Amino acid sequence: MRAAVLTIFALLLATFGFIVLNLEPATISLFGLVRVTHPLGVVLSVTFLAGALLVYLLMEGASLRRSWHDRQELRATKLSDETADAYHLGLEALAQGDLGAAREIFERVLRYDQDHVGASYALGNLERDAGDVEAAIRRHITANARKPGTPAILWALAEDYVQAGRVDECLRALDDLLAQAPNGREALAKKREVYEAAGRLEEAIEAAQALLRAGAPDDGSLNDLRLKAAQRAPTPESARMHLQAAIKHDKRCTAAYRLLGELFWKDDNAREAEKTWKSGWKAAGDLGLLHRLADAHLASNEGKKALKLVSQAREARSDDPLAALLHVQTALQLEAFDEAEKALAAETLADHPAAALLRLELASRQDRSDSIGPLSMEAAGALGTLQAPYACRACGKALDEWSAQCPACERYDTIQLAWIGKASLPKTGVDVAAGGEDQKSEEEPPS
């Protein structure tokens, strides 16, 4: 500024000298409209000084503009600092669980700065938690428009859409996340969950497979989906496809063997059913499959084959009371009383309550009336300790029939045999059945 003043002062001195040296009059015409007669030095000097003044004013204007911008930037910086402080206060209130205060602070931040992404994101989450899902969606869409592709915002949108029941939009948000990280386990797991909740099991299976390819540990959810899809399949062929895939994925998936065998059995393909259950018994060692296989052989008039299978199982599992109970029951059904009595003598059945019921049935079937009285008392006491013949190994729920899914904990492939046996109480005519056997009264003895 000082240099500009000195320059103007020097120009004034030069102009004064120019006027003194050029005092002759001169006439100047401006476009033929105005004619001015003055000394040439005066005219030129006035014109030059007007230009210099204009330059000075322009320089001053630029300086004023810079000053105004500086003040605006200072004000914006101060406002930004205040907004940042308020935003952090909102985060602290949120961390302390004071949701009302947090919401009020975030709203104030947005009044100061409507483009504040963090406040929009946090406020949208609070609105969703409060049940105002549509407001949360609008808030998060705005935040995503200001900072596109932010993972936290896309996650928030996915959660919003899930709660709003807008499945396809949720999946698009998850796909946007996966576009950034194709092997993102959380996004793949969320897709599987959303597809399953929507009943789109085929797509849920694909998402579960992608999750395993991404390196996630196998928690059994893929086969759970296949079992569920098999039970809901529109055709037996589709159900078989899912069950065979489940067995291929996990050779010990007993529920898949059981359901696949039942499909063959209903289709009057006894051989394939028996083959399937036998494969499952060998692969998984589940006595429930062996029990079902023995029943199938009995129904096909292949009693000797059934007895051989359960006898081999008892020998292989000499310390397993269930194997001994299955042997006894099969022998009783075939009226192989000597073999049944021998199996009942196994040490593993000495104190087993189901063995008391089978001993009573054996005495009743052999007409040993002298033993029925004491055995009836023993069997009656045993009845109170036995629950249903099946139980869930995950939650302990007792069931009267086998099921692929536990109705209590909703886990798949967890239902197993709890005990096996059947007996009659001659004095009361009460029958107890287990392991899927039919109940029969004293007047109608089992054949």
Report pLDDT for 371: 84
Indicate the range of 47-56, 314-323, 343-352 predicted with least confidence.
47-56
**Averaged pLDDT for residues 87-104:** 92
Report pLDDT for 292: 96
What is the CA angle 213-214-218, rounded to 5? 65
Indicate the range of 23-32, 194-203, 347-356 predicted with least confidence.
23-32
Report pLDDT for 424: 42
- Map out the domains of the chain as residue ranges: 2-76, 115-217
Q: Is the dihedral of CA 153, 154, 157, 158 positive or negative?
A: negative
Report pLDDT for 351: 87
Burial environment of residue 216 by CB neighbours within 10 A (0 to 12, 13 to 18, 19 or more): middle
Strands (E), 31-141: 34-39
**Averaged pLDDT for residues 287-307:** 96
Residue 442 has pLDDT above 50, yes or no: no
pLDDT band at 438 (very low <50, low <70, confident <90, very high): very low
**Averaged pLDDT for residues 261-283:** 97
Question: Tens digits of per-residue pLDDT, 361-393?
Answer: 898 888 888 888 888 888 888 887 887 899 999
**Averaged pLDDT for residues 129-157:** 95
Report pLDDT for 80: 60
As a whole number of angstroms, the distance between CA 219 and CA 423 comes to 41
The radius of gyration of the chain from alpha carbons, rounded to an integer in Å, stands at 45
Residue 286 has pLDDT above 60, yes or no: yes
Report pLDDT for 266: 96
Residues 418/398, Cβ–Cβ less than 8 Å: yes
Residues ≥6 apart with Cβ < 8 Å to 395: 406, 408, 409, 411, 414
Question: Tens digits of per-residue pLDDT, 144-168?
Answer: 999 999 999 999 999 999 999 999 9
Q: Beginning with the edge strand found earlier in the chain, give each strand of the sheet holding 398-399 in spatial order.
A: 398-399, 390-392, 415-417
3-state secondary structure 348-391: HHCCCHHHHHHHHHHHHHCCCHHHHHHHHHHHHHHHCCCCCCEE
Indicate the range of 19-23, 278-282, 339-343, 407-411 predicted with least confidence.
19-23
**Averaged pLDDT for residues 110-126:** 92
Indicate the range of 72-76, 228-232, 256-260 predicted with least confidence.
72-76
**Averaged pLDDT for residues 243-254:** 97
Q: Which residues pair with 433 in a beta bridge?
A: 422
**Averaged pLDDT for residues 284-309:** 96
Report pLDDT for 71: 58
Percent of the chain with pLDDT over 90: 62
**Averaged pLDDT for residues 45-63:** 69
pLDDT: which is higher, 19 or 272: 272
Q: Which CATH architecture has domain 115-217?
A: Alpha Horseshoe (1.25)
Report pLDDT for 48: 65
Residues 432/446, Cβ–Cβ less than 8 Å: no
**Averaged pLDDT for residues 414-440:** 57
Report pLDDT for 387: 79
Report pLDDT for 45: 64
pLDDT: which is higher, 3 or 380: 380
Residue 433 has pLDDT above 70, yes or no: no
Residues ≥6 apart with Cβ < 8 Å to 222: 205, 208, 209, 212, 249
Q: Considering the chain, what is the average pLDDT of its residues?
A: 85
**Averaged pLDDT for residues 62-87:** 64
**Averaged pLDDT for residues 36-50:** 61
Report pLDDT for 142: 94
Residues 265/273, Cβ–Cβ less than 8 Å: yes
pLDDT: which is higher, 101 or 14: 101
Report pLDDT for 380: 84
Report pLDDT for 180: 95
Residue 254 has pLDDT above 90, yes or no: yes
DSSP 258-291: HHHHHHHHHTT-HHHHHHHHHHHHHHH--HHHHH
Question: Tens digits of per-residue pLDDT, 161-187?
Answer: 999 999 999 999 999 999 999 999 999
Report pLDDT for 27: 61
Report pLDDT for 199: 95
pLDDT: which is higher, 129 or 382: 129
**Averaged pLDDT for residues 24-46:** 58
Report pLDDT for 21: 57
**Averaged pLDDT for residues 441-447:** 37
